[in-house]
């Protein structure tokens, strides 16, 4: 009888069931971000402090982007009400990796076109490179002259209310289409991740 009870207790304390995530993965351990200083579309400083107390979806791009960035911002705007229903403390942070062209005014006009609640931040490359690397993003200028393009990561990083890198959402390849993170999968994954935190 005692032996049977011992087995039952062992089963009850088994490992929790892993999350069934469709387009994301969580880090085994949340990772603290190194100190950084950027500026948002209103000219205010955006530092580690602005990540505390809320969940942040962060991604990189540039306002002259012909495809990935406007698609991403349209999709996040469409999903924003649902994202807020998962957590009312959520912010969307667009990090421009084209500081030479993406002035404060340009970022303000650009982000307001999609959603005035979103942040549009940047800094000089000396600050951007370590910040984006810390989050796991990559970017590179391609081409010469004023019409250069910027190759950049298309994933989102989820930063926790403690200001730690918590999870990554990866776009899925689709033949003949821009790789995308489907809103339905984003919302479902985010709900599981936040509930498990």
pLDDT in tens, 101-137: 999 999 999 999 999 999 999 999 999 999 999 999 9
- Name which residue leads in pLDDT, 161 or 179: 161
Output the six-digit token pair for 177: 């289409």
Rounded mean pLDDT, 78-87: 96
Q: Which residue has the higher pLDDT, 158 or 6?
A: 158
Residue 67 sits at the vertex; the CA angle it makes with 182 and 76, to the nearest 5 degrees, is 40
Instruction: Specify the pairing of strand 55-61 against strand 90-96.
Output: parallel
Give the pLDDT score at 85.
95
Residue 79 burial (CB < 10 Å; 0-12/13-18/19+)? buried
**pTM for the structure as a whole:** 0.88
Question: Given pLDDT bands bounded at 50, 70 and 90, which one contains residue 34?
Answer: very high
14 has pLDDT over 90? no
- Give residue 3's pLDDT: 47
Residues 86 and 183: beta-carbon distance below 8 Å: no
pLDDT score recorded for residue 183: 94
The structural domains of the chain, ordered by start, are 19-196 (3.40.30.10)
In angstroms, the CA 125 to CA 28 distance is 30
pLDDT of 11 over the 80 cut: no
| Alpha-carbon gap, residue 108 to 82, rounded angstroms | 24
Distance CA 63, CA 109 (A): 10
pLDDT tens-digit series, residues 43-71: 999 999 999 999 999 999 999 998 899 99
């Amino acid at each position: 009888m005692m032996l049977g009870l011992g087995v039952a207790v062992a089963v009850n304390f088994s490992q929790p069931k892993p999350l069934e995530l469709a387009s994301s993965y969580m880090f085994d351990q949340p990772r603290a971000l190194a100190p950084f200083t950027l500026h948002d579309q209103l000219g205010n400083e955006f530092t580690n402090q602005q990540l505390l107390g809320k969940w942040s979806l962060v991604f990189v791009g540039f306002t002259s982007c012909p495809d990935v960035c406007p698609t991403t911002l349209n999709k996040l705007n469409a999903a924003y009400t649902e994202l807020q229903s998962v957590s009312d403390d959520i912010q969307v942070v667009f990090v421009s990796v084209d500081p030479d062209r993406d002035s404060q005014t340009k970022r303000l006009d650009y982000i307001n076109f999609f959603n005035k609640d979103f942040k549009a931040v940047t800094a000089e490359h000396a600050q951007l490179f370590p910040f984006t690397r810390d989050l796991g993003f990559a970017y590179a200028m391609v081409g010469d002259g004023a019409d250069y393009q910027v190759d950049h990561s298309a994933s989102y990083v989820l930063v926790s209310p403690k200001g730690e890198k918590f999870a990554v959402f990866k776009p899925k390849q689709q033949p003949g289409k821009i790789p995308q993170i489907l809103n339905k999968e984003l919302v479902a994954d985010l709900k599981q991740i936040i509930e498990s935190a």
